[in-house]
Structure 1
Amino acid sequence: MAETSGRTALRAQGRRAAVVPGGQQSSGTRHPLVAVAMVLPLAFLLAVVFGGWEAVMTQASSVVGMLGR
């Protein structure tokens, strides 16, 4: 019985190490490109479903213009 619980504890410890490498906690921030990659599919879907494609393109061109400065 002790051998089984020891294996379970090792597996749980391995999972925690896999989730947070090095045992450090995440600061809760992510790279801006990751955030954009997460948001773009939803934004595209909403634009198509609600017919706001022109508004999305206008906003996108404004953002591109600001980034180009």
Structure 2
Amino acid sequence: MADGSGRAALRTQGRRAAAAFGGRQSSGTRHPLVAVAMVLPLAVLLAVVFGGWEAVITQASSVVGMLGR
């Protein structure tokens, strides 16, 4: 019996942790700032590797313009 109650407690703890971190969104969309935070490190890496700072600046200004709408 202890194993069953232990698993139930772990499930409950997992649900609480998921709720604390926002859980899964039902609409399947991310907040725009989260998307920017996910893409920014890759964009910087590619800009350093390929030397495309002007392209990064252009894209960043486009994203900022879209977020401002």
Q: TM-score, normalised by structure 1?
A: 0.64
List 4+ stretches of structure 1 deviating above 4 A. Answer: 64-69
Which structure is richer in relative contact order (CA contacts within 8 A, separation 6 or more)?
Answer: 2
Matched positions, count: 65
* Residues 55-66 of structure 1 aligned to structure 2 (within 5 Å): 55-61=55-61, 63=62, 66=65
Partner of 2:39: 39
Whole-angstrom distance in 1 between the partners of 2:63 and 2:30: 21
**What is the aligned-residue RMSD (CA, Å)?**
2.9
Higher-Rg structure is 1
Aligned in 2, Cα 1:59/1:3: closer, same or farther, shift over 3 Å? Answer: closer
Q: Deviations over 1:29-59 (max 9, x none)?
A: 2211111111111111111112211222233
Partner of 2:48: 48
Secondary structure, aligned partner of 1:30: coil
